Chain A
Amino acid sequence: DGGITQSPKYLFRKEGQNVTLSCEQNLNHDAMYWYRQDPGQGLRLIYYSQIVNDFQKGDIAEGYSVSREKKESFPLTVTSAQKNPTAFYLCASSHTNRGAEQFFGPGTRLTVL
């Protein structure tokens, strides 16, 4: 079955630690995206990538980093520089044609203690 997976579902970390969230897709999509969602709010774009080995900052990239070494994978690292990292993180992927629908993974809920 084709899909997009994120792991783990829940993640707890101590303040000051870096943490990497996994995102994998087997939909053969060129584009991948990371969003952050805070309680009762919409999604905000952190980083996106239209092709392997290339990525761009979104609206709230500070304190985050990404890599895109493989088409199927787009891991997100939440660094200690991110001031309020506790949130729900959603990964998405899509084709790159105009108006292509984005498909979302199940999300990772990160809690920093």
Chain B
Amino acid sequence: GQNIDQPTEMTATEGAIVQINCTYQTSGFNGLFWYQQHAGEAPTFLSYNVLDGLEEKGRFSSFLSRSKGYSYLLLKELQMKDSASYLCAVMAAGNKLTFGGGTRVLVKP
């Protein structure tokens, strides 16, 4: 089975950096996804990691350590529009995604 843990909520100031951690236990691994979801809307894709290391994409970066079952999403130069939930999801065989509970990030002025 799959078990995915991430913090429930984080607060940060506009312009700052926030790191959202995700730990997982899985019986099969085809990669780890991060999605952003604004309230009442569909999740949108942010990043995909299947190999260890850091993937950078503009203000967002994602890191994976398969041996530790650990990933983080780094949000730099925070903007008010970054206030949203961030979902960590692990992909198993058959491309089945299992989601964590999501981390709600509140950006304050």
Using CB atoms and an 8 Å cutoff, list the residues of chain A in contact with chain B: 31, 33, 35, 40-45, 48, 50, 56, 58-59, 88, 90, 94, 96, 98-107, 109
Contact = CB atoms under 8 A, between A and B. Distances in A.
A99 B30 contact: yes
Contact of B95 (A31, A90, A109): A31
Interface of B: 4, 8, 30-31, 33, 40-45, 48, 50, 87, 89, 91, 94-102, 104
Contact of B99 (A44, A56, A88, A94): A44
A13 B93 CA distance: 36
A105 B4 CA distance: 24
Contacts of A100: 95
A90 B42 contact: yes
A104 B87 contact: no
Contacts of A96: 95
Given A45-B96, A107-B41, 13 more contacts: A31-B95, A40-B102, A41-B102, A42-B89, A42-B100, A42-B102, A43-B87, A43-B89, A44-B99, A48-B96, A98-B30, A99-B48, A99-B91
